[in-house]
Amino acid sequence: MAFGWIDEQAELRRRAGLVRTLGPRPADSPLLDLASNDYLGLARHPEVTEGSARAARAWGGGATGSRLVTGTTELHAELERELADFCGFEAALVFSSGYAANLAAVTALAPHGSLIVSDAGNHASLIDGCRLARGTTQVVAHAEPDAVRKALQTHDGPAVVVSDTVFSVDGDAAPLAGLAEACREHGAGLVVDDAHGLGVLGDGGRGAPQASGLAGAGDVVVTVTLSKSLGSQGGAVLGPARVIDHLVNAARTFIFDTGLAPAATGAALAALRLLRREPERAARARAVARELHARLTAAGLEAVRPDAAVVSVRAPSPEGAVRWAAECRAAGLAVGCFRPPSVPDGISRLRLTARADLTEGQIERAVRVIRETRP
């Protein structure tokens, strides 16, 4: 029977407690949201939604084609200029998603004969980029610059080191300065995914590379998503102008994909301008994360100290994590639930988003619910 193996896979997932289901949410959910990636609370901000609506009215519902045909609007160019300027890089290129941006950066910058050194904790999009690239990938220990050095010593040709800046599972930060030093010792490029750093780390939310003194460096390329701190959709690659020009000509997820929808472009641009005007939002998101961590650990829970806005709480098992998240939801709190194979170490977790717009009362309520529903 065609696709008969799917039933076997489904049964294995069921036995392991790893079945995933979709849960559509209403437009006006009563839940306290600590599950989304809306770090700065901008997804529903009036300026952001109006920016989205205004762009849709002006440019239509879709970009109408690939960026190289009809899919590049004046709005895309405006967002790219302002995003590059904000983060401190020469140029930027906007994609339809952060996933597409990561695939583009890794595949286009790791041709045949090159070495890709990839952190063991990297996001799936970086991992898939490594798999699709024509270079050879070597996975190294998590957040270990010395492991990167040893890998680079084995290769004489072009090389690129690939890492998240803030890892999505535990919210820990990569040692960017150490990684850059290791790369420069061997003439390698550094590609980092700042999805969880933009809007949270750096001066006024300018990102982890800016905080580490790497913004604008000729050997550093940064990918970002527009769907987290900027409350919109899409992704971008930032870096030297010659790298961005190369992506325009070589990145398949740019050349063969429809451009980012005008509504998402307008929303991201409005959010970026709002962040420029209200840089304190970044510091507030970090402060909320530290407060959540302090209260959760004081309650006897095992939570990982956050380096940005992700707060991870260990669960006893995949099934226990699912039940815990479900009981939180029943009590009015939405939290993320990370289980294998999404977590590299096999340890299940609740994943909390520390949003800049959370009030003191909401923080207290969230901790109380998590504490009272723990397995």
Residue-wise pLDDT for 120-171, tens only, equals: 999 999 999 999 999 999 999 999 999 999 999 999 999 999 999 999 888 9
The amino acid that residue 349 corresponds to is R
pLDDT digits (tens, 9 = 90+) for 23-77: 888 888 999 999 999 999 999 999 999 999 999 999 999 999 999 999 999 999 9
pLDDT digits (tens, 9 = 90+) for 78-126: 999 999 999 999 999 999 999 999 999 999 999 999 999 999 999 999 9
**Given pLDDT bands bounded at 50, 70 and 90, which one contains residue 210?**
very high
pLDDT at 196 over 90: yes
Candidate CATH numbers 3.40.50.40, 3.40.50.1000, 3.40.50.150, 3.40.640.10; the one for domain 46-277: 3.40.640.10
Q: Can you say how many angstroms the Cα of residue 210 is from the centroid of all Cα atoms in its chain?
A: 16
**Span 294-323, mean pLDDT?**
94
Domain-wise residue ranges, the chain: 24-44+279-373, 46-277
**Given pLDDT bands bounded at 50, 70 and 90, which one contains residue 174?**
very high
Residue 179: per-residue pLDDT: 98
**Given pLDDT bands bounded at 50, 70 and 90, which one contains residue 4?**
confident
ω into residue 175 within 30 of 0, thus cis? no
- CA–CA distance, 365 with 342 (Å, rounded to integer): 28
Mean model confidence pLDDT for the chain: 96
Residue 268: per-residue pLDDT: 98
Residue 261: per-residue pLDDT: 98
Mention the CATH class of domain 24-44+279-373: alpha beta
The candidate with the shortest Cα–Cα distance to 187, out of 144, 158, 151, is 158
Cβ atoms 366, 291 nearer than 8 A? no
**Given pLDDT bands bounded at 50, 70 and 90, which one contains residue 291?**
very high
Question: What proportion of the chain, given as a percentage, has pLDDT over 70?
Answer: 99
Alpha helices in the chain (DSSP H): 4-16, 46-59, 74-87, 98-108, 124-132, 145-152, 176-185, 208-211, 241-250, 252-255, 262-277, 280-298, 318-330, 360-373
